[in-house]
Amino acid sequence: MSYRYGERVALNGVSLTVMPGDVFALLGPNGAGKSTLIRTLCGRLRPTSGSVLIDGHNPARSRVARGRIGLVPQDIALYPYMTVAENLSVFGRLAGIRGAQLVTMVDHAITATGLEERVDQRVETLSGGYKRRANIASALLHAPKLLVLDEPTVGVDLDARNSINAVLRSLSEGGMSVLITTHDLDQAASVASNVGIIVQGQIVETGAPDELVAERYGGAQEMVLLLAELADPGVAAILTNSGFKSLEEGRLWRGRLSSDGPGIDALTSQLVSAGARVRETRVRQPGLDSLYADLTGESEVA
Ligand code: ADP
Ligand code: MG
């Protein structure tokens, strides 16, 4: 599937499938095409070529398809002065649900997102994490088959992030398909059954996070090295020649130690002789963040 804004190609031959029970995390730098992809899924944009099917229906043409999607926007879209329960009733009515079914669906959404203790609280008094959960609940009222979340954990603390992950996991265990965009690689690694890495409108890698990392790196270890100040050209040359890449403007470097090159100690002493002050070295297993950095050239998801 492709999409162009006029001459600008935003999605170029993207193909992905999210099965019931999957949590699919879409990762990519700013401008990669994530929001455009979400807009085509929700039927707001029609692909320039190719197609989108939601449970067999085309969302650009069919209300049935749009009814199978629950979209959780990045910004909280709730009425701050109303309670959680009042908000959910309003959103349920807007989705065309009435009467006994509305009561059932509101209850169901509250349970699914763990909001039982907060139903009578005004939204403006909720913590950021609970606001997000209420936002998710409001997207569940029409019982969608696919839940799409744009950056569900921006600006929430670790506890809230863990509880949102738990909500997403339990929804997927109930058979829902979940698609998230996230800049949070830890979240993607812990919650996603599949990730897709999108760069300049193309999905360059897709699969289960553990498998992707294992395929690419095998058992190789990686070294992260933090300098006290920016690497000068001599220091940078040593690191680059050893296959290291700079992450944080020349202070943080990451690379894999090859068995035939210098070990950590040799490398560190070379750097010290070149005048570098090495503040910290760490050896670790490469993770999804390593894969992301290698594929996009960026150390963090935008
Ligand atoms: P992401 O969400 O991954 O940051 P987007 O889907 O927003 O990426 O953008 C993908 C590309 O399409 C970028 O090059 C962006 O500049 C361009 N783009 C996004 N929205 C529009 C628009 N409304 N008109 C023209 N170009 C757009
Ligand atoms: Mg975006």
pLDDT digits (tens, 9 = 90+) for 66-97: 899 999 988 888 999 999 999 999 999 999 99
What integer pLDDT is reported at residue 288 of this predicted model? 93
Average pLDDT, the chain: 91
Ligand nearest to the CA of 40: 1
Q: What is the mean pLDDT of residues 258-279?
A: 84
Residue position matching structure tokens 């150390």:
299
Token output for 204: 């360059």
- The pLDDT assigned to 261 comes to 67
Q: How many percent of the chain have pLDDT more than 70?
A: 96
- Whether the pLDDT of residue 259 is over 80: the answer is no
Residue nearest to atom 12 of ligand 1 (CA): 10
Report the alpha-carbon angle 63-65-207, nearest 5: 160
pLDDT of residue 302: 42
Can you give the pLDDT at residue 220?
Answer: 82
CA of 302 to the centre of ligand 2 (A): 9
Q: What is the pTM of this model?
A: 0.89
**CA 250 to each of CA 216, 230, 275, 285: distance values in angstroms, whole numbers, following the listed order:** 25, 5, 15, 22
- Give the Cβ contact number of residue 26 at 10 Å: 29
Q: Give the side-chain half-sphere CA count within 13 A for 243.
A: 13
Among protein residues, the one with the nearest Cα to ligand 1's atom 21 is 5
Ligand 1 proximal residues by C-beta, below 6 Å: 5, 8, 10, 28, 30-36
- Report how far residue 173's alpha carbon sits from residue 57's, in angstroms, rounded to the nearest whole number: 23
Q: Which ligand 1 atom lies nearest to the CA of residue 33?
A: 6
Both tokens of 259, joined, read: 């068995």
Per-residue confidence (pLDDT) for residue 301, from 0 to 100: 47
| Cα 281 to middle of ligand 2, angstroms | 34
CA 277 to centroid of ligand 2, rounded, Å: 39
**Residue 133 φ/ψ, nearest 5 degrees:** -65, -40
**Cα 92 to ligand 2 centroid, rounded to whole Å:** 27
